Amino acid sequence: MKVAYFGREGSYSHQVAIERFGTSARFVSCPTHPEVVRALLSRKAEAGVLPLENSIAGVVMETIDTLLSSQFAHSKFKIQEYLDLAPELALLIGIPPGTLTQQNQKTAFVRGIRRLYTHPYPARYLSDWIRKHLPKAELFETVSTSEAAQLASEQPGTAAIAGPHAAKIYDLDIAFRKLSKPNEYITRFCVISAKPINRAPPTHAAICFGLHHRPGSLVNALTILSQHHLNLTRILSRPQMYRTGKFEPNTYVFWVDIDIGKSKQAFACALEQLRVATTFMDILGLYTVRPK
């Protein structure tokens, strides 16, 4: 199986892809979130892995906007699974492993570093730690932790916050390990495929819909779900241009995650009513949830 993932080799999406599909799968690195979907649509991959939400920074809007597009919503590909990862964050430094043999040497070296590469989410989570241990470093944000590791490998004397698995890939030394706490720094990923990837029946659904621009339209849509005793686990809105590609003032598309549990019939009835009450309604996926 070919699996597309967001980021460079060594990213957390790459790690999740390996853990989910095994080392026998072939992996396709994608520099942007939309590129993962394009890899699926062009048959360069059969499954895709995208980061969906972080416990510190919230929803990954690039993923949401990508999956709200009509290109994805009208395709045969759907969200099949949400799974959680408690990523281990480490400080990697741009010197060959083993150059500094003592931890006090590494600590002194780190204090003199003037350039730190990191994705915005770890930067926010570790802001106090960074100020304390890298007082001279200027922070440069990257699109992924794997990009941060690659940049540090290309510029000796710099540092990156990434997973320790990236140190081997990019020949970096690990100055500090276990900077994150597994019970508080968690990232949720979604797995996309045209076919179910496990035997367990779906327990949740992700849908999107548009509304008539008139009073009470959102309340009416949510009331339909409430009347069928369906529990919502997420609701958010995005400008409808992410679906249509055209800017339309005051026009939004709504993403709703629903815990359908055993209420398959109630969910089906609610969808029929939503199709009447909304300007459009698409199922983005029927999925299971795998906790960390």
Question: What are the extents of the domains in the chain?
Answer: 2-86+184-193, 90-176, 204-286
Residue 1 CB-half CA count within 13 A: 19
Give the Cα separation of 206 and 236 in Å (integer): 11
Whether the predicted pLDDT of 5 surpasses 90: yes
* DSSP for residue 197: S
Residue 9 vs residues 40, 100, 162: alpha-carbon distances, Å? 18, 26, 12
Q: CA-to-CA distance for 289 and 228, rounded, in angstroms?
A: 22
Q: Domain 204-286 class?
A: alpha beta
Q: Is the pLDDT of residue 265 over 80?
A: yes
Note the pLDDT of residue 292.
66
The residue behind tokens 């919503």 is: 73
Q: Is pLDDT at 191 greater than 90 in this prediction?
A: yes
At residue 215, φ and ψ (nearest 5 deg) are: -60, 135
* pLDDT of 280 higher than 80: yes
Greater model confidence, 246 or 163: 163
Q: What is the CATH number of domain 2-86+184-193?
A: 3.40.190.10
For the segment 19-38, what is each residue's pLDDT rounded down to a tens digit?
Answer: 999 999 999 999 999 999 99
What CATH code would you report for 90-176? 3.40.190.10
**pLDDT tens-place string over residues 205-259:** 999 999 998 899 999 999 999 999 999 999 999 998 888 877 878 889 999 999 9
- Whether the Cβ atoms of residue 284 and residue 243 lie closer than 8 Å to each other: no
Give the pLDDT of residue 100: 81
- 204-286 has the same fold as 2-86+184-193: no
Q: What is the pLDDT of residue 263?
A: 83
DSSP 78: E
Which tens digits make up the pLDDT trace of 78-134? Answer: 999 999 999 999 999 998 787 887 888 888 899 999 999 999 999 999 999 999 999
Q: What is the pLDDT of residue 98?
A: 79
